[in-house]
Structure 1
């Protein structure tokens, strides 16, 4: 380019006007290029300064960042784990997930469910340790199984985490992993179901042990009931029909009745009942009634009598299932093959327990 300009300059030396024009054109060209270069440099410098002045979420103090993360929902925390490794490590912390666990699952996580989960985690950890001890270069089934445990598979796919190449994994013994297994329906846990088998008339106002798992698309549960012979199952069980299962009362064990001496007419109770001795017990709701020879409320002495009338008012007065009588002092399983067998008794002591049963009351009396 310089040689070209020199040639033109030499050619036009004899012509003063031509030389002036050429020099003027060269000056304007050089000035224009210099101006563009200067503006470009200024813009790039300003852009770099703006980028340097931007604050990253990770630049916040730990306490501030933690307060922000505590405001996120489970699905939002899951998405945050896809951003970077630093946020992933923070978002899987137990203290962030305990609140979510208690809010959604605390009501159903009874002692029996917690024990089952701990046993499940212990089994997985044992498989993981055994795989690490293996001297074989080829990974065995347990190491592959444990390595593939990814929480919130449905959330990550819905929010595009898989497309970002995320490969995060929550620790097996973390609260996040527990929560995700419940949400994904991968963990069957013990609970009790009111009015089992879609409110079948034979189970109205009862509560039976079952193994359940969650279905997040319908926000309902699938239940499997223990029974003699065919194992009954039920879909679309709502939250309102569930309560936690207690570890100290097995479905086939007779409950120790420690409330019989204090029962009075009008008290609400649950009593174990089963059709035959080969079946597990269910819990049935009832109200303590008056003895046949009682004068009524004003002169009632039923509380001092050895026998207690147990009424099941969901049945018609003429139904054989309407009442039964048990002995306060020497109560054991009583009954026969025709009317079934009555077991232990629990007195209901809170309004929440009683109101839950009343909400399940049938629209008309049962036969």
Structure 2
């Protein structure tokens, strides 16, 4: 009985010792900041692994107890334990194709956890091949070329700061003499320090994903119905600088200042009110319309509009209407042959000055005045998803 108790304690101590892990790299601590929705995907993965370990311990204890009841020698027990240990299979023993298929099916949080296990798994798990899919799935709808360009500038600025710190850290005095005599000492210490940090490559997609997911990186995008659906911005879409809040799964939007208006900040912006800019241009640039000859009554459009020349453009939703001389009968309508195009904004009442606007099909540039604002470029909406998004944001009451 005493021998059985000793062997059971020995197996438990060995199991606890096997759970000791190396401290995770600094970037792994970012996982604590990720949203609950992001972390819960790995709960089943971790739970199943823990259950397997517990069952393995129970099986091992049962085997040892049976061996003790048969009065086997302690040497035979140790030999049996070594055989069990040698027969254990590591995930790295799997064929490369099988391992790659497993990693492809892991959610981002589990992929980060696997990257902290060992250097071999880390080199696989931080590959852009895996993270490109996660980036496109979660962030692809609101990340555009402007956001990617902003990220490249962010990397360049951080690299420049790091290089300046290295220059400030050059050895001085006696240390400088020693570095000249034995420069390998200095170089080796720098290499060792950098390798201990185990930082991610700045230009990796995983690094960009974590920067977005933790809210450390602000990026440009567009917001529907800005400033919590202010009546002056209903059915419009404006450029803003966004940062993600993983705790509540919403965004903070910072709208740029214009004219005498200061920076406007809006919190708790949901995913449904965001999109990537349709064109990679400044919000102050006039969009060159290439669809004017195609416009017909009933077409869904977006048109640039701004209050005055100092303001940036916003995109406003509308439809192409009929001329006053047309009764709206499709069999006799010739509005598409006219140089004048009628634009209707049906979110406003029939008598509102914002209800209708006209543009010249052949010579359209920026048109308007300081009283009614300025109309810019037009884009025709052909994507049903875009059209349904605008209709979903339709105000509950007609605007004046």
**TM bucket normalised to smaller:** 0.7 to 0.9
Cα distance, 1:362–1:36 mapped onto 2, change above 3 Å: closer
What's the offset of the Cα at 1:203? 0.5
CA distance in 1 between partners of 2:169 and 2:163 (Å): 12
Determine if the alignment matches structure 1 residue 360 to structure 2 residue 393.
yes
CA-based RMSD: 2.4
Quick check: 1:210–1:224 contact (8 Å CA) kept in 2? yes
Tell me what 2:14 maps to: none
Tell me what 2:292 maps to: 260
- The correspondence for 2:274, drawn from 242, 246, 252, is 242
| Aligned residue runs from structure 1 range 339-358, under 5 A | 339-358=372-391
Tell me what 1:275 maps to: 307
What's the offset of the Cα at 1:338? 1.8
Q: Which has the higher helix share?
A: 2
Quick check: 1:112–1:247 contact (8 Å CA) kept in 2? no
What's the offset of the Cα at 1:274? 0.9
Point out the more displaced range, 346-355 or 120-129.
120-129
Tell me what 1:74 maps to: 108
Quick check: 1:310–1:325 contact (8 Å CA) kept in 2? yes
Cα distance, 1:288–1:337 mapped onto 2, change above 3 Å: same
What's the offset of the Cα at 1:63? 1.9
What's the offset of the Cα at 1:275? 1.2
CA offset digits 1:113-133 (Å, max 9, x no partner):
111112222333344455556
- The correspondence for 2:350, drawn from 292, 296, 317, is 317
Higher Cα Rg, which structure: 1
- The correspondence for 1:196, drawn from 226, 232, 238, is 226
Tell me what 2:212 maps to: 182
CA distance in 1 between partners of 2:110 and 2:280 (Å): 38
CA distance in 2 between partners of 1:349 and 1:201 (Å): 27
CA offset digits 1:245-292 (Å, max 9, x no partner):
245331111111121122111111111111121111100000011111
Quick check: 1:185–1:215 contact (8 Å CA) kept in 2? yes
- The correspondence for 1:230, drawn from 245, 257, 262, is 262
SS of corresponding position for 1:363: coil
SS of corresponding position for 1:354: helix
Quick check: 1:113–1:245 contact (8 Å CA) kept in 2? no
TM-score between the two structures when normalised by the length of structure 1: 0.79
- The correspondence for 1:101, drawn from 91, 115, 135, is 135
CA distance in 2 between partners of 1:102 and 1:325 (Å): 39
Tell me what 1:144 maps to: none
| Aligned residue runs from structure 1 range 1-367, under 5 A | 39-132=73-166, 136-137=170-171, 168-228=198-258, 229-246=261-278, 248-297=280-329, 298-367=331-400
Tell me what 1:163 maps to: none
Cα distance, 1:136–1:148 mapped onto 2, change above 3 Å: closer
CA distance in 2 between partners of 1:248 and 1:94 (Å): 24
SS of corresponding position for 1:47: helix
Unaligned runs of 5+ in 2: 1-68, 173-191
CA offset digits 1:173-214 (Å, max 9, x no partner):
111101000001111111111000111111000000111111
Tell me what 1:30 maps to: none
CA distance in 2 between partners of 1:91 and 1:350 (Å): 36
What's the offset of the Cα at 1:64? 1.7
